[in-house]
Structure 1
Amino acid sequence: MSKNVLYMRVSTADQNIRHQRQQAEAAGYRFNDEDVIADDGVSGVSTPLKDREGGRRLFDILRSGDVLVVRWVDRLGRNYRDVTDTIREFMRKGVIIKTIINGMTFDGATKDATQEAIRDTLIAFMAAMAQAQAEATKEAQKAGIEAAKAIPAKYRGRRPDYTRADFETVTAAVARGEGPSAIAKLTGLQRQTVIRMRDNPANVEQTLANWRM
């Protein structure tokens, strides 16, 4: 009997495993507790899925017909080659991959050459975007942390009520054409916060940097 399996990954204390499950359930997915798998404090850039404890379990339990649910492909990894190889391996096993953000489905069942080409191009694009976002975030964090060292705590302003993970989620959703209301519902953020992130990303980045987030 096929099943839904939720995979979650967080790399920092500011990210939240529980929030990712809430997002999946809000999108209509239901899981048995034993089919919810998480890797906590693991980098998607430097640690391939097969080298993570939860990732290894995925490869062990997923069978043909099962549905692997992730917030977005960046939960599988932030390295282009790792992400594309992973998705293709799962599809060869008959596993269907679904993303919560933007509701994407990757299924290896199609035999139509045109549909395969479209699917594979989309996988490559999303994997490349995940790596590019990781690299851009790393550089921004490095620059921001250096600048923040010179700012006394009293001048940093109010601590933001969102995390860098929230900002990345909003940025990715905006890039794919999602509207503020849909993004707010998906992330649990206020609609005005989403609009601020969309319209003034530099200011949001600076606020996160000021608080070394």
Structure 2
Amino acid sequence: MKLGYIRVSRDKQTTALQEDAMRQEQCERTFTDKMTGKRFDRPEFLRMLDLARAGDVIVVWRLDRLGRSLKDLIETVQALEQRGIELRSLKENIDTTTPTGKLMFHMMAALAEFERDVIRECTLAGLDAARARGRTGGRRKASETLRPEQLDRAKHLYAARQNSIAEIMALTGFKSRATFYKYVVNPEKPAENKPSTL
């Protein structure tokens, strides 16, 4: 069975071009999402995956309809491959039912893995160089970046119950809601939530 998948990022965008392509491909079922490709929890996409069986072919107008990054795309195709489901992308003329199409995706996966390895090696080398100069990697703890007067004012405003948390954060310079909750709303042990002076 051929299953067509259509996606546009916003409600106002038209799906007509993709719908025409799916009809020309004679897809038996078509699924349409109107949301960003960054999200994996697209309802129609998940419905299609639930319906798809081994031997089925998923048809997309263009590869970026499945995902916004090479990593997401490769993970999706590999998941389909494990279930015996094929993929056909019309714009790029890629068809995993053919040996050439399968080879292309294996090459893309290998290149993505190579890129991840290079980034990992560069990161580790940078950390080693920093340690050799007496510096440690990673972000500073939030308690090290909070000023005592900033924290005291935030606690005072929160106790007064006259401002929303968003307003208190804006007034006192808190960037992270998680940090605000940790040090103001639900402070930990007194020794831990007292900010150190730099």
Select the structure of larger CA radius of gyration: 2
TM-score by length of 2: 0.50
